[in-house]
C-alpha cells in the first residue's frame, strides 16, 4: 500500500477532476509484480494500468502493453487472463469503481479476473462510482481496509474529497536553498513541466499584481502543450499594462479583483506568487507545493508567518526537492 500511495503522489495535481490513485499487484509469495497509477482523467484507472503490467510480467507476453485505451485493456484481460491472477492480492489506495464512467468499472474487471483479495486505502466519496467494495464482497472476494495506511491514503485523496462539494486550492512557490525567489529562473526544467501540467488541469490560476508587473507572465501550459485556464489577478490596483502576455491568451477570462470570492466559482485552483500572496491567501489555501532548488544567489527571501508545515509527500524533481505540505 505504501508503494501504491507513493506512486500515486507522482500524479497528484494532474488528475483533476479524478483522484490520484495507485495500485500494487502482489503475488502469492508477497512479491510486488506490478504497480499502476491513474495518470490523467479519461485514461485507464490505477487498477487497469497495474493489471496490464502484471499480465505482461506473469505471462511474458508484452503485446498487452501496446494497448492504451481502458476498454481495450479490460477486454484483453477478460479474454486472455486464464486465471493467472486468482492468487494475487491488489492493494488499491481507493475503492475500485463500480460504475462505467469515461472508462469501464474496475470492480467488474477484478471480479471477472477472479481475484480473491483486495486491500483498499479509502472508500470512494463519489456517490456515482462507489459500491466496488460491496460488489466484490458479493462475488466472494475478501475486501479489507488497509491497516495503518488509511491516514496516508486519506491525505492523497483530499483534493478529490474537496471537489465533491467545494474547491481545492493549491499554493505553489519555488525558492532556492537560501530562501531567495528573485533573479530569474529558479527551478529545474522538470519542475517547470510539472507546474505547466498542473496549470493544464487547473481551472483558475490566481496571482498578485506584483507578479503581473514584475514578471509579465503568460501563465499558459506551453511546456506540456496544455490548455489555458482563467486567471484572477488579486489586487487592489484596477489598471494593468494589457500588453502583458497573460492578458492576450485566446480563450481565457482574466479577472482583476480585490477579493478572492471568484474562487468559489471554480474547482481546482492554483495560486502562484511570493510571500505577500502567501499571507494574503492563507485563509483559502488547502495545500502548499514548494520547489526548493539546490542553489543560492537572489536577494529577496521567501518568508512566511508559519513556523510549522506538515510534509505530506516529498520527492526529487529534476534536482529540486518538491514538497507537498499542509499548515
Could you list the residues that contact ligand AOF (CB under 6 A)? 18-19, 21, 38, 41, 45-47, 94, 96-97, 101-103, 106, 124, 126, 129
Q: Kindly provide the b/e burial profile for residues 229-264, where b requires at least 16 CB atoms within 10 angstroms of the residue's own CB.
A: bbbbbbbeeeebeeebebbeeeebebebeeebebbe
24 vs 126 by CB, closer to ligand AOF: 126
23 vs 207 by CB, closer to Zn ion: 23
Rounded CA separation 244/34 (Å): 47
| Binding-site string for Zn ion from residue 82 to residue 101, where x marks contact by CB under 5 A and - marks none | ---------------x----
Least Å distance, CB 99 to Zn ion, is: 8
45 vs 199 by CB, closer to Zn ion: 45
Least Å distance, CB 311 to ligand AOF, is: 24
92 vs 233 by CB, closer to ligand AOF: 92
Tell me which residue has its CB nearest to ligand AOF: 101
Q: How far is CA 327 from CA 171, 233, 284, in A?
A: 11, 24, 12
38 vs 267 by CB, closer to ligand AOF: 38
45 vs 74 by CB, closer to Zn ion: 45
Count the alpha carbons within 13 Å of 321 in the hemisphere toward its beta carbon.
Answer: 11
Please report where in the chains the cell 501540467 appears, as a residue.
Answer: 197
Query: In terms of C-beta density within 10 A (0-12 exposed, 13-18 middle, 19 or more buried), how is residue 164 classed?
Result: exposed
| Residue 46 binds: one of Zn ion, ligand AOF, none (C-beta under 5 to 8 A by kind) | ligand AOF
Q: Is 106 in the site for Zn ion (CB under 5 A)?
A: yes
| Binding-site string for Zn ion from residue 17 to residue 46, where x marks contact by CB under 5 A and - marks none | ----------------------------x-
Residues identified as active-site: 47
Least Å distance, CB 162 to ligand AOF, is: 13
Rounded CA separation 33/64 (Å): 16
Least Å distance, CB 302 to ligand AOF, is: 33
| Residue 126 binds: one of Zn ion, ligand AOF, none (C-beta under 5 to 8 A by kind) | ligand AOF
Contact 291, 320 (CB under 8 A): yes
DSSP string, 147-203: SS-HHHHHHHHHHHHHHTTS-EEEEEEEEETTSB--SS--S-HHHHHHHHHHHHH-S
Least Å distance, CB 313 to Zn ion, is: 22
| Residue 201 binds: one of ligand AOF, Zn ion, none (C-beta under 5 to 8 A by kind) | none
| Residue 142 binds: one of Zn ion, ligand AOF, none (C-beta under 5 to 8 A by kind) | none
Collapsing DSSP states into helix, strand and coil, what is residue 58? helix
Helix extents (H) in the chain: 2-9, 46-59, 70-80, 106-112, 132-138, 150-163, 189-201, 209-215, 275-281
| Residue 192 binds: one of ligand AOF, Zn ion, none (C-beta under 5 to 8 A by kind) | none
Rounded CA separation 74/195 (Å): 32
Amino acid at each position: 500500500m505504501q508503494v501504491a500511495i507513493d506512486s500515486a503522489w507522482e500524479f497528484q495535481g494532474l488528475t483533476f477532476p479524478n483522484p490520484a490513485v495507485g495500485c500494487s499487484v502482489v503475488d502469492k509469495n508477497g512479491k510486488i509484480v506490478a504497480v499502476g497509477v491513474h495518470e490523467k482523467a479519461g485514461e485507464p484507472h490505477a487498477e487497469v494500468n497495474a493489471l496490464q503490467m502484471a499480465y505482461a510480467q506473469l505471462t511474458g507476453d508484452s503485446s498487452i502493453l501496446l494497448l492504451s485505451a481502458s476498454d481495450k485493456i479490460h477486454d484483453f484481460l477478460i479474454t486472455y487472463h486464464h486465471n493467472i491472477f486468482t492468487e494475487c492480492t491488489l492493494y488499491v489506495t481507493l475503492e475500485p469503481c463500480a460504475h462505467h464512467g469515461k472508462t469501464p468499472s474496475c470492480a467488474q474487471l477484478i471480479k471477472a479476473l477472479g481475484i480473491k483479495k483486495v486491500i483498499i486505502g479509502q472508500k470512494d466519496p463519489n456517490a456515482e462510482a462507489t459500491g466496488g467494495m460491496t460488489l466484490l464482497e458479493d462475488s466472494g472476494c475478501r475486501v479489507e481496509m488497509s491497516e495503518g495506511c488509511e491516514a496516508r491514503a486519506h491525505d492523497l485523496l483530499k483534493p478529490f474529497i474537496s471537489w465533491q462539494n467545494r474547491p481545492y486550492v493549491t499554493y505553489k512557490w519555488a525558492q532556492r536553498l537560501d530562501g531567495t525567489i528573485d533573479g530569474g529562473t529558479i527551478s529545474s526544467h522538470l519542475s517547470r513541466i510539472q507546474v505547466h501540467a498542473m496549470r493544464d488541469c487547473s481551472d483558475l490560476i490566481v496571482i498578485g499584481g506584483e507578479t503581473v508587473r514584475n514578471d509579465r507572465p503568460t501563465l499558459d501550459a506551453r511546456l506540456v502543450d496544455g490548455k489555458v485556464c482563467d486567471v484572477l489577478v488579486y489586487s487592489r490596483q484596477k489598471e494593468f499594462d494589457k500588453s502583458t502576455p497573460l492578458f492576450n491568451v485566446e480563450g481565457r477570462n482574466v479577472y482583476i479583483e480585490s477579493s478572492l470570492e471568484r474562487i468559489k466559482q471554480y474547482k481546482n485552483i492554483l495560486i502562484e506568487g511570493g510571500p505577500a500572496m502567501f499571507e494574503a491567501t492563507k485563509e483559502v489555501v488547502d495545500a502548499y507545493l514548494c520547489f526548493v532548488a539546490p542553489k543560492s544567489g537572489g536577494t529577496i527571501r521567501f518568508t512566511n508567518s508559519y513556523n510549522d508545515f506538515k510534509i505530506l509527500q516529498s520527492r526529487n524533481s529534476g534536482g529540486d526537492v518538491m514538497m507537498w505540505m499542509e499548515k
